[in-house]
A and B are shown apart, each in its own frame.
Chain A
Amino acid sequence: MRHPVGNVLVWIIWVIAATACVGTGVRVVTATSPFSSALSLIGNLASLAVLYLLASAEFVAAAQVLVYAGAVMVMFLFVIAYLGGRADAPFAGGTRLIQIASVVASGLLLAVTLVALLLKAGGRLSDEAEVETAFGSPAEIGRLFLTDHLLAFEITSIVLLIAAVGGVVLGMRSSAEDSFPPPDRHPQERTTIAGDPAFGGQTPEVAGFAAGSSRGEDAS
């Protein structure tokens, strides 16, 4: 190895980033509050950006921090704040057997992927190509996007446009569903909200102003 000190440093940074990556990933899945899940995902994305940097993908790392850890996660946090206590959800569904089965299934997925990969390509994975320092730089990526991958670039822009239009359509209010918390159309669901610890487990009359407003409509 030509740079022994640099190599050790990169190893140390890599191990820290990889540990943080997997650890925050586990935290995203296991945290009970969606808010801490989202915050852990930000840490996950940041440590992934470090791994991208070490794999000489500078532009992908920058885009990861800007687009993911910045824009996308802010959107997530806004929605979690909008939903408030309703965003809290029970940890797992189904019976104990289904939970064990899902853990086993994901473990088997990992094992099968790694075994197949290392068996088929194990010998070829260790000799990386020699790359120059411009590999993965914004200039190189931009040149490829505007020459070899122009179609992918344009399709990406159309996908983003369609997603933006779809988001607007999904977010449009119709007058029937205008109130949140909603009027007294689903008494059984309102009772579950009132029994929620986020509302202090109060009775429906105390918990939501929806109950009072609907009774006013009845009187009129």
Chain B
Amino acid sequence: MLGPGVPFYLVVSGLLFAVGTMGVLLRRSPLVVLLSLEIMLNASNLALVAFSRLTGELDGQIFALAVMAVAASEVCIGLGLIVAMARRNLELDVDRLSELRG
């Protein structure tokens, strides 16, 4: 394998996952929370691809493609929810969205 080995990829993946976690925890706009979730999903995809290269099996890349499809579905539903919230004139702030609280 030319260039850096698998541990370097894993370090980048871990850094990205931590950055995404920080975004989910720190930001209040549901849009930015969704964007940070995308970063976390992509970090896991990078780890899957790196491990797939390590073992020489393609199963990891298949898994990464499945994760990509699930992420697209999640964005579809999440953005639909955000638009529905905006239409009902709810505040776009995850700290104050408590309509479903039991």
Contact = CB atoms under 8 A, between A and B. Distances in A.
Interface of A: 3, 6-7, 10-11, 13-14, 18, 21-22, 25-26, 28-29, 34, 37-38, 41, 44-45, 48, 51-52, 54-57, 59-60, 63-64, 67-68, 71-72, 75-76, 79-80, 82-83, 86-94, 99, 102-103, 105-107, 109-110, 113-114, 117-118, 122, 125-126, 128-131, 135-136, 140-141, 144-145, 148-149, 152, 156, 159-160, 162-164, 166-167, 170-171, 173, 177, 180-182, 185-186, 189, 192
Chain A binding surface SS class: helix
Given A87-B29, A89-B27, A3 B49 contact: no
Interface of B: 1-12, 14-23, 25-29, 31-32, 34-36, 38-39, 42, 45-46, 49-50, 52-56, 58-59, 61-62, 64-66, 68-77, 79-84, 86-89, 91-95
A51 to B, nearest CB: 6
A58 B56 CA distance: 14
Chain B binding surface SS class: helix
A180 B86 contact: yes
A66 to B, nearest CB: 10
